[in-house]
Amino acid sequence: MADRVQVEVVFAKPEKQVLLSVSLPAGASVADALSESGLTGRFPEIDFAQLQAGVWGHPVPRDHVLSNGDRVEVYRPMLLDPKEARRQLASLGLTMGKVSSD
């Protein structure tokens, strides 16, 4: 068993996205990766303790043990339900993948 794991930590705001590579001791958790990533210093206005985290698109608890190559993601709350966003776009004659050129 390796004594270290290499993981990516990802967080995005509409205006800025970060992807950080973090080396941790084997047996490290999601909480350890978030702490080591330094995200709180980059985004001091965000309370990361209140946000859901996941690995490869699946929400997990903060004590989830990481494997080498995992991608830890921090999820912001949605401002608008995707179904409602599609309804609003449809009312304008648009779809999610189509931008008006008017």
User: Helix, strand, coil proportions of the chain in percent (round to 5)?
Assistant: 25, 30, 45
CATH number at residue 41: 3.10.20.30
In a domain, 63, yes or no: yes
Q: Is 58 helix (H, G, I), strand (E, B) or coil?
A: strand
Burial of 2 (0-12, 13-18, 19+ CB in 10 A): exposed
The mean pLDDT value of the chain amounts to 88
In a domain, 96, yes or no: no
State the amino acid at position 69 in one-letter form. Answer: G
In a domain, 51, yes or no: yes
Question: How many domains does one find in the chain?
Answer: 1
In a domain, 59, yes or no: yes
Please state the rounded mean pLDDT for residues 42-71. 94
- Least confident among 24-38, 51-65, 69-83: 69-83
Q: How many CA atoms lie within 13 A of 86 on its CB side?
A: 4
Name the residue range of residue 14's domain: 4-91
Where helices occur in the chain by DSSP H, the ranges are 30-37, 39-42, 82-91
In a domain, 34, yes or no: yes
Give pLDDT tens digits for 49-60: 899 999 999 999
Q: Report pTM.
A: 0.74
